[in-house]
């Protein structure tokens, strides 16, 4: 839901970023207000994940120009963990496996770290166990995933569910979900989308990076952006996603968003 008077959560202006000395992001502008759902679409290699990771603070992405503020703070002055604690969440396109660390311990550590930083109460293992099981129920996740190592041997879809579980626990102000729908079966897509919708309020926002219009039937976007060659070349409403699904990206090539 867009409201002109809603608080600006994220404001990106003229963002340029390099990876390994190569410029990938070539001037991105984006404003996300509280209560909004944005979708970013675009061909493979257009820079969507790079944009998401640069915002989340990945050290390999070197910001060479432009600004980005999160609730008024310059995020490039903040370490990745500070951004997370401030309420920025990245759902990974490829969540990492960490054999040897139990998912339960990891989730609790993340939860308590973020809670502590926000001046809220931490939970001991027993309290946390109750809490996380509640959240897992909403995502129709089996409790056995708590005992396994983080993402270790999880199927593609299970990893994505685990990402949304983390989002549910960390209660971010702004969640950037990078292809959370890829790898989900039809039922899982419904469940995970339902989970995301339930987390959306007037005070937070989500940016969905996706290749498929289908996701946007479940989580309805206010804006759809098309990224190409490290720029947002077009922005429209949800109907743009439908059009892209029908026509592909070719007709947009060479255009730059007005």
Ligand X SMILES: Nc1ncnc2c1ncn2[C@@H]1O[C@H](COP(=O)(O)OP(=O)(O)OP(=O)(O)O)[C@@H](O)[C@H]1O
Residues near other proteins (CB under 8 A) are 53, 56-60, 79-81, 83-85, 89-90, 92, 95-96, 98-101, 106, 109-110, 113-114, 117, 149, 166, 170
Q: Closest separation between CB of residue 91 and ligand X, Å? A: 13
Pick the closer one to ligand X by CB: 45 or 116.
45
Pick the closer one to ligand X by CB: 104 or 189.
189
Should residue 49 be labelled a site residue for Mg ion when binding is judged by CB under 5 A?
A: yes
Should residue 180 be labelled a site residue for Mg ion when binding is judged by CB under 5 A?
A: no
CA nearest neighbour of 207 among 56, 85, 17: 56
Instruction: Give the whole-angstrom CA distance, residue 74 versus residue 83.
Output: 10
Q: Closest separation between CB of residue 126 and other proteins, Å? A: 17
- CA distances, 143 to each of 24, 100, 147, 205 (Å): 40, 18, 8, 28
Strand, coil or helix: what is 101?
Answer: strand
Q: Closest separation between CB of residue 48 and Mg ion, Å? A: 5
Q: How far apart are the first and last CA of the chain?
A: 23
Give the tokens for residue 102. 């139990």
Q: Closest separation between CB of residue 60 and other proteins, Å? A: 7
Q: Are 105 and 98 in contact, with CB atoms under 8 Å apart?
A: no
Instruction: Give the whole-angstrom CA distance, residue 176 versus residue 88.
Output: 8
Pick the closer one to other proteins by CB: 163 or 228.
163
Q: What does 258 interact with, of other proteins, ligand X, Mg ion, none (CB < 5 to 8 A by kind)?
A: none
Pick the closer one to other proteins by CB: 52 or 141.
52
Does residue 107 come out as left (phi exceeding 0), alpha (psi in the -120 to 50 range) or beta?
alpha
Pick the closer one to ligand X by CB: 60 or 256.
60
Pick the closer one to Mg ion by CB: 15 or 107.
15
The alpha carbon of 257 is separated from its chain's Cα centroid by a whole number of angstroms, namely 23
Sign of the Cα pseudo-torsion (53, 54, 56, 59, in order): positive
Query: What is the DSSP code (8-state) at residue 153?
Result: T
Residue ranges in contact with ligand X by CB under 6 A:
19-20, 24, 42, 44-50, 60, 93
Q: Closest separation between CB of residue 82 and other proteins, Å? A: 9
Q: How many residues does the chain have?
A: 258
In the window 80-99, what residues touch Mg ion (CB under 5 A)? 93
Under the rule (CB under 5 A), what is the footprint of Mg ion? 48-49, 93
């Amino acid at each position: 839901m867009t409201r002109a008077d809603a608080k600006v959560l994220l404001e990106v202006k003229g963002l340029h970023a390099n990876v390994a000395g190569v410029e990938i992001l070539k001037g991105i502008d984006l404003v996300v207000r509280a209560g909004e759902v944005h979708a970013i679409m675009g061909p493979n290699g257009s820079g969507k994940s790079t944009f998401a990771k640069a915002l989340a603070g990945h050290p390999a992405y070197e910001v060479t120009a432009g600004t980005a503020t999160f609730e008024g703070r310059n995020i490039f002055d903040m370490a990745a963990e500070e951004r997370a604690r401030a309420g920025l969440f990245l759902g990974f396109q490829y969540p990492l496996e960490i054999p040897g660390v139990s998912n339960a311990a990891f989730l609790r550590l993340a939860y308590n770290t973020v809670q502590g930083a926000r001046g809220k109460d931490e939970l001991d293992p027993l309290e946390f166990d109750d809490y996380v099981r509640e959240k897992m129920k909403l995502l129709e996740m089996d409790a056995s995933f708590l005992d396994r190592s983080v993402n270790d041997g999880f199927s593609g879809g299970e990893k994505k569910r685990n990402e949304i579980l983390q989002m549910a626990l960390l209660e971010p102000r702004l969640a950037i979900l990078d292809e959370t729908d890829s790898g989900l079966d039809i039922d899982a897509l419904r469940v995970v989308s339902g989970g995301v919708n339930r987390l959306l309020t007037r005070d937070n926002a989500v940016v969905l990076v996706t290749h498929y219009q289908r996701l946007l039937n479940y989580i309805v976007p206010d804006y759809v952006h098309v990224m190409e060659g490290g720029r947002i070349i077009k922005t429209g409403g949800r109907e743009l996603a439908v059009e892209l699904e029908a026509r592909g990206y070719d007709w947009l090539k060479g255009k730059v968003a007005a």
